[in-house]
Amino acid sequence: MAADPRFKLLTFTGSGGVGWMLKSKAGKKKVVLELGGNAAAIVHSDADVDYAAERCVLGGFSYAGQSCISVQRIYVHRSIESEFAHQIIERAAALRVGDPLQESTDVGPMISAEAAKRAESWVQEAQQGGARVLVGGDRAGAVLAPTVITGTKPEMRVSCEEVFAPIVVVEPYDNFSDAIAAVNRSTYGLQAGIFTYDSRNIYEACETLEVGAVIVNDAPTFRMDQMPYGGTKDSGARREGLLRIAGNDGAKAHCF
């Protein structure tokens, strides 16, 4: 069907393996791919720490982390690292985990016990490599407790691959350009969030982050139907939404 010449646009949301395979079969037609990511947030020294922690917890643990723009990596300026870590640990530990049919539940199960086991194994792998679990890490069937990890290395799967689970990695940085480089080190590039009131940093992020969209003073776990949506690198190709229809597929990141 992907090769059929009777339609002019193929759009696909799903895994990279399937998406790029379909693109290879699409021939001359336009292709829009939305393939996932490991979204990052940068929390700079001038950020509102309480607000940033609140939004990163919401973005990292809602839907049990099973969203392609779920917060997975958080880079925090070293001057506020301790305060931010305290805030995010306290908030993650307070989340109620369990039956999604109960209104009091904040974090429900993952899609399957196998998916939860896979995520748990990535956490254990990171620990064996020297990372520390600050909170969470426990699993009961398909339910994985909200987990915060630090001391990771860029090549660890909890950092460089799409974890698709209620797991976030928190690491410090010294200069804003270091944080930009850390975000761009990923093979994915769907969305990123930055928390700062410095317009110079905002412009730098919008110009240099290799992602489809930069969300300013909010977590990357944000989208609306009327905004262009899509990524770069392994996260896909072109944009969904109104600007794609208008012909602007966004060579650089859109900022919101």
Question: Which residues are catalytic, by number?
Answer: 34, 68
Residue 104: half-sphere exposure toward Cβ, Cα within 13 Å: 3
Two structure tokens written together for 192: 């990123």
Q: Are 162 and 68 in contact (CB under 8 A)?
A: yes
Rounded to an integer, what is the distance from CA 49 to the centroid of its chain?
A: 19
* 159: number of Cβ within 10 Å: 23
Backbone angles phi, psi at 158, to 5 degrees: -65, -15
d(CA 150, CA 158): 10
Task: Report the alpha-carbon distance of residue 202 to residue 197 in Å, rounded.
Answer: 8
Distance CA 240, CA 79 (A): 38
d(CA 32, CA 241) in angstroms, rounded, equals 11
CA 191 to chain centre: 7
Tell me if 193 sits within 8 A of 220, measured CB to CB: yes
Q: For residue 18, how many other CB atoms are within 10 A of its CB?
A: 13
Q: Count the alpha carbons within 13 Å of 132 in the hemisphere toward its beta carbon.
A: 7
